[in-house]
Amino acid sequence: MIFLKAIFFLITGYFLFCVLYVFFFSMAGLFYKNPVFPKAKRNRKIAILVPAYKANGVIEELADNVLRQEYPDYDLIIIADSLNADVLERLRKKPVKVMEFSDPNRTKALALNTIMGQLPDHAYEVALILDSDNLIKDPDYLSCLNDAFEAGCQVVQTHRTSKNRNTPIAFLDAVSEEINNHIFRRGHAAVSLSTALIGSAMAFDYQLYKNGMKLVKTSGEDRELEINLLRKKIRFTYVDRLPVLDEKTQEAGVFVDQRGRWIANQLLQARTNIAEAFCLLFHGNIDFFDKVIQQFLLPRILMLALMTVFTIFVVIFMPAAYSAVWLLMDMLLIISLLLDIPKNMFGKTMIKAVLYLPQGAFLMFSSLFKLKGATKKFHATEHRSIPGEVNQQSG
């Protein structure tokens, strides 16, 4: 009986930590203000690096979109891996650099490192990383990034948001990303902590990025790079007013595989770095400690689902005092998530997504069985053009 009580209090303590963490940064995010940078005195040369593995359906749309930027000094570098010959031919007629890559042991990090190794050492000052399905909304996007680096920023994460909400899964994915934007980017920036990177729509000092990517050893390149840079006390800046559209997952199988590898890489970083996190905390590196602690948080959909199940159990079988604690935690979590979601996402589609939540939670739970080997394998989400479905909101 004592053992069962100990397990219950451990579970309660863990979920209390998760809820308080989410609630604190959800409240903080309400006070976020976009940073204002003075106009830069010179134009830095920007390398826009786009890994494009079998991205035949979207890569030309991205190229045309990026080429509408009004910034005068940049190269769009498409890392062409397994693109169709006709797509390559059309791309080469555009003012872009098409650099082919192929390796049986491919990873995104390997592709980026290989191509950067072929580029002139000091040709660029800023590296902007985009996914092949991304679209930039603001024609002054690159100019604003240049202003940020003129002001001393070394790493800038911009606002990645949904391109499509055309299925219940896509809508839940879009909501999830905006929740994460609020907690891990707006909320953290509001209390002067480094914001989370997201894998694309992020810009770096070029040499910092090139040297940092050489150390990446897993398929979770963004998490590993993030940890390595924070270890060196490199600060990450978030600019919410610069949206980049991103294709959201539309199919259940893809959703499960994608979440499985994300959670696997999250757990890898958690267990690998937890001891060092406490050590560096005592040396004043709060950003690194916070980042490692984040890796222990459950995905928000799964957190909500598990807490609901546990709360029902506690209300039925446990004393009233315990029930009150769990009901309060549930209420705080729901309030937090509602604060995180942009107002323009509420409506009929949101109601349908809420009805889909149990299935979404089940899919998220299913992804836990996809963890084995997920940090070692190469995974690429297939993207396709979505005519008529592009959502132009900026969150």
What are 323-349's pLDDT values in tens digits? Answer: 999 999 999 999 999 999 988 888 877
| Per-residue tokens: 234 | 């490199």
Give pTM, 2 decimals.
0.88
Q: Enumerate residues 6+ apart whose C-beta is below 8 A from 327.
A: 311, 315
The owner of tokens 């062409």 is 80
| Per-residue tokens: 113 | 């490192």
- pLDDT average, residue stretch 349-365: 70
Predicted confidence (pLDDT) at residue 249 exceeds the cutoff of 70:
yes
d(CA 164, CA 245): 8
Question: Is residue 254 packed enough to be buried (19+ CB in 10 Å), middle (13-18) or exposed (0-12)?
Answer: middle
Q: What is the mean pLDDT of the chain?
A: 88
Predicted confidence (pLDDT) at residue 382 exceeds the cutoff of 80:
no
d(CA 280, CA 80): 40
Domains of the chain: 46-265 (3.90.550.10)
Model pLDDT, residue 164: 83
CA distances in angstroms from 224 to 46, 96, 104, 288, 381, listed in the order given = 23, 29, 22, 12, 20
Predicted confidence (pLDDT) at residue 272 exceeds the cutoff of 50:
yes
